[in-house]
Amino acid sequence: MTKISIAPDDRVFVLTGAGISAESGLPTFRASDGLWAGHSIEDVCTPEAWKRNPALVWEFYSGRRSDGAKAEPNPAHVALAELEARLGERFFLCTQNVDDLHERAGSVRLVHMHGELTKARCERECGRPPVEDRKVYKSLDEVGRCACGGRLRPHIVFFGEIPLEMERIQDEIQKATLMVVVGTSGSVYPAANFVHWARQRGARTVYVGPEAPLNASAFTHVVEGKAGEVLPGLFAV
């Protein structure tokens, strides 16, 4: 079995995608022909969709909240939390996922570049921070308003919007000597470029997933397999 050695001076940057939560029962896009839980992205996951039909967008994300609350972290989430516990500040996790399975497994040094299902924020981008919101809405009338009067929208980066925390992410990639990418198809940008940025800095780059991603040629190792089966035995620290 492949082992990735982590030396005392290594700094590890991990990027995860929908594939890491697949074994927890949360579907990826790829698994369903580019649909997310039966919906096309254009209908539920774009600024235009929000303007056109906020009720449908909230209905969709309410469904994702219900599914997310029922799901449990799998051995892949746990393996990354355990790696963080050993490496401390030499570890950083960036997830494209909007579920909270990484934090529930114990990860702390992480950012959600595409937002979080368990939060909402003002649709007017008025500057107030996101608020905790785990409600499953049955109609738009139940959705609260911000102090400025704007309607609350899911704290999700819709397709076409700028991902969150990019400065911190770029800074961590600059410092990393090892990048590990798990369960992402390599088709959503800018995340699909992270491996190129890391390679330019001379880092080793490892991909873990059941099939090679679209950007496979940028990896120094591709470990084919399910995240929950590969990650628990992958690292030699």
Residues contributing to the site for ligand NAD (CB under 6 A): 17-23, 26, 28-30, 36, 96-99, 114, 182-185, 187-188, 209-211, 213, 226-227
Residue nearest ligand NAD, CB atom distance: 19
The strands making up 221-224's β-sheet, listed across from edge to edge, are: 110-112, 91-95, 12-16, 178-182, 204-209, 221-224
Please pick, among 77, 114, 155, 196, the residue that the annotation labels catalytic.
114
Q: Is 196 one of the catalytic residues?
A: no
Paired strand residues for 172: none
Residues in the chain: 237
Quote the least distance from Cβ 37 to ligand NAD, whole Å: 8
Quote the least distance from Cβ 139 to ligand NAD, whole Å: 24
Helix (H, G, I), strand (E, B) or coil at 191: helix
Distance CA 228, CA 211 (A): 14
Query: Among residues 96 and 143, whose Cβ is nearest to ligand NAD?
Result: 96
Query: Among residues 101 and 146, whose Cβ is nearest to ligand NAD?
Result: 101
Query: Among residues 177 and 187, whose Cβ is nearest to ligand NAD?
Result: 187
Task: Give φ, ψ of 129 to 5 degrees.
Answer: -70, 160
Q: Annotated catalytic sites, by residue? A: 114
